[in-house]
Structure 1
């Protein structure tokens, strides 16, 4: 499947300068995603065409791609530039010995790769994804930190947990007080060519699950604060809005296990917290096109 699917490899800012590269590994595939001298982003199969040695590991900067074993060398554009003891390789023609490429595509600052040279374009694959993410202006953002975790499981099992809310009642029952699990909305959108494309999952938060008896808004909020702030919570205050003088200090939020006050004093006004103050969570999932195997 990975040989046929568009997949996110890195952000553009991960390889900002010519010669910057990043190795993208998935299953038994390995690609070198590199910025060329002309500013383009290309992805080469990470194997020397002589004996199959990996050309690069991890990420870094290089003026050329050189095999660490026998020294076969390619330019950043993938052209063969040097073969040690060239006289022993009369059958190697430089114009036919360029590094094999995978397809690359850019979307909102994200770099995608697809090992299948005959695959549809990234634009066709993503369909109308643009309009769903337009409010976030992802192309104007950058990655401040990269955090990853290796999970010892089949990748499909790991992914499935984030594709539905059906498991919440059995796996995460503590969330039912403030998560509308069975009210989750699932939408499937088509690609530009009409085939099934991406799906959207919207799960309402700050509302209790239909599996429970209805809760009061404050009870819902108390449950959220219990789990989100187990060590207690206090509102932030703006230095431009000084607190009113009191004869004795009175905390705005109580310390757990007691719940927070129903209202808190903000920078300028008093505010009652209700479910309408807190947004729903949305998840967009992009999988391989179902029309290809």
Structure 2
């Protein structure tokens, strides 16, 4: 296992000398910086920074770091997030009947590509139980109907709380989460089978085929109350031609969906994504 690192993400009002001040703070405490990425949004007057340094030998003890970085953020009048590379967040995957994204994520976790734990998979149909059993992941079926939607969401929220879940991934869940759900659990990543903002909503491949597009894609984004309109993390594309039927677009699209979702999740887990003003800065 690689050496543990500290990851600091900061958003604060822009001014001169911020790069030097942040790097100097790390250096003054004996930190060895491994990665440093910065961005200035001139229009918004904001400075974004992601700094990662080795934990071993750092002058501030791990348990005291949250208080220390909060004091730093207060001095810079900014917002800060602190993470450690050796932490394995607990992630719940929500699915429906389609298996390609779920299988891909579970395989990547098993092979060590995604640094996370999957304590459970929740689906609104029982079709994927055997797949989860093969990976040794507990499976819960919570059916959803227009009448039972509110009750189903309460059941899901209870399961998330019981398992200490920090992030939810919608791997072709095919259900719209209510505003009430997102208020209680806002940390959700979704995969949408189109190159957003084109073809939002249902059956994007059918609508893309009708328009005769030559390029289709998939978009992984954070979920908000506005359907398919959350901050975009990752997008992938593939070419199609006039010879392709809807079934070909769906087949090709599944590959883009798997790749976009896996890439987005890895970026999120590595704390390389920063959300601000309804959009993202991705330090890849």
**Higher share in helix:** 2
TM-score under structure 2 length normalisation: 0.27
